[in-house]
């Protein structure tokens, strides 16, 4: 419970002094506190702790390669003393005790809470401190930090994790397929899968495409166990069959579902059923012609909609607008799979 001191660098920003120093995560947690804004404390500025997020950060901290380079931002209470050292850019900060609550967390409460779930892993964190700030100053810093930050897009994050080989092996293999379908000139989806934020005229994001392919290519999927090259080729032939079966709907015409994530999701949801028909009726020869032939029963079918009525499967976007939610997509996929299954029984 003895006082302790540390040296800090001085940062000057718009006539405001900030203090930069490292501190071990355990000690920082002992010194910091948060009083979240709630109906009982409406004047406070910090958000409520999200325990799920803290646990996720704790799992990340346990990883041998984890880093938390962003500074935790705190506001030092007046009981703490800040004394010049004689150096223009350094000060000594002295805390009355090594086990009291002398610093309000303005940014980083979930990172600190993550150490509660890190199985004892601890390490140094960068800290930026305000000193004896007013409530208005603290509120402005909190509001500015949380309003000016822009979350990195899911497209960018997925590509980055894929690039640095941080995805699990099966997911990385699925992303290999996504990239082949997005970049190979003989792929019907060449240039149509969004891999970068500035890509124009894409139909579907990389993340959505990965979600469409994974059930078929990863463990338990109908293509699991085949070589990556074989998986890519089968998907290409399947897409060529889809394109041939619905040529009007395929292209840059935004009036059709096949140019939208919903259409891509539905088409891939029936891939297993189409492959099964190729297995039964085409000697497991996965060519575009065979896929088209085995999907032919879909060309004249209709989708029964809840409450009565049918929508012809022209793949026009307008009529399917009412079914564009998750429940509607599942309904469409289920009915299309049933058409293909019934065709198996009839032949």
Show the 3-state SS of the chain.
CCCEEEEEEEEEECCEEEEEEEEEHHHHHHHEECCECCCCCCCCCECCCCHHHHHHHHHHHCCCCCCCCCCEEEEECCCCEEEECCCCCEEEEEECCCCCCCEEEEECHHHHHHHHHCCCCCCEEEEEEEECCCHHHHHHHHHHHHHHCCCCCHHHHHHHHHHCCCCCHHHHHHHHHHHHHHHCCCCCCCCCEECCCCCCCCCEEHHHHHHHHHHHHCCCCCCCCCCHHHHHHHHHHHHHHHHHHCCCCCCCCCCEHHHCHHHHHHHHHCHHHHHHHHHHHCCCCCCHHHHHHHHHHHCCCEEECCCCCEEECCCECHHHHHHCCHHHHHHHHHHHHHHHHHHHHHC
Query: What pLDDT score does 20 carry?
Result: 97
pLDDT in tens, 61-84: 999 889 999 999 999 999 999 999
In this prediction, residue 143 carries a pLDDT of: 83
Q: What is the pLDDT of residues 263-292, one digit of tens each?
A: 899 999 999 999 999 999 999 999 999 999
For residue 346, the model assigns a pLDDT of 64
- Of the candidate ranges 40-44, 212-216, 289-293, 317-321, the one whose mean pLDDT is the lowest: 40-44
Residue 41: what pLDDT? 66
- pLDDT by residue (tens digit) across 167-193? 999 999 999 999 999 999 999 999 999
């Amino acid at each position: 419970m003895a006082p302790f001191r540390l040296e800090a660098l001085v940062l000057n920003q718009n006539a405001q002094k900030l203090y930069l120093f490292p501190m071990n995560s355990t000690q920082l947690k002992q010194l910091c506190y948060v009083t979240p804004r709630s109906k009982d404390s409406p004047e406070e500025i910090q958000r409520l702790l999200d325990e799920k997020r803290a646990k996720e950060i704790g799992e990340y901290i346990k990883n041998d390669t984890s880093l938390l380079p962003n500074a935790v931002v705190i506001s030092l209470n007046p009981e703490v003393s800040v004394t010049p050292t004689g150096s223009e850019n350094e000060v000594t900060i002295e805390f009355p005790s090594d086990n009291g609550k002398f610093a309000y967390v303005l940014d980083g409460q979930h990172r600190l809470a993550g150490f509660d779930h890190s199985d004892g892993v601890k390490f140094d964190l960068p800290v930026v401190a305000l000193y004896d700030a007013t409530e208005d100053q603290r509120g402005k810093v909190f509001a500015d930090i949380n309003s000016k930050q822009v979350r990195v897009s899911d497209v960018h994050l997925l590509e980055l994790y894929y690039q640095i080989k941080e995805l699990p092996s099966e997911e990385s293999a699925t992303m290999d397929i996504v990239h082949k379908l997005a970049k190979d000139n003989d792929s019907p989806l060449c240039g149509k899968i969004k891999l970068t934020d500035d890509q124009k005229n894409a139909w579907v994001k990389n993340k959505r495409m990965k979600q469409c392919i994974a059930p078929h290519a990863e463990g338990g999927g109908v293509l699991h166990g085949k070589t990556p090259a074989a998986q890519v080729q089968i998907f290409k032939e399947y897409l060529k069959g889809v394109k041939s079966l619905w040529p009007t709907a395929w292209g840059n015409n935004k009036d059709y579902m096949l140019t939208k994530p919903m259409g891509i999701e539905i088409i891939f949801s029936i891939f297993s059923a189409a492959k099964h028909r190729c297995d039964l009726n085409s000697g497991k020869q996965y060519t575009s012609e065979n896929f088209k032939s085995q999907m032919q029963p879909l060309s004249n079918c209709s989708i029964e909609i809840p409450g009565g009525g049918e929508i012809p499967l022209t793949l026009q976007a307008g009529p399917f607008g009412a079914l564009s939610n998750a429940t509607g997509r599942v309904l469409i996929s289920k009915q299309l799979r049933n058409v293909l299954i019934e065709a198996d029984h009839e032949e």
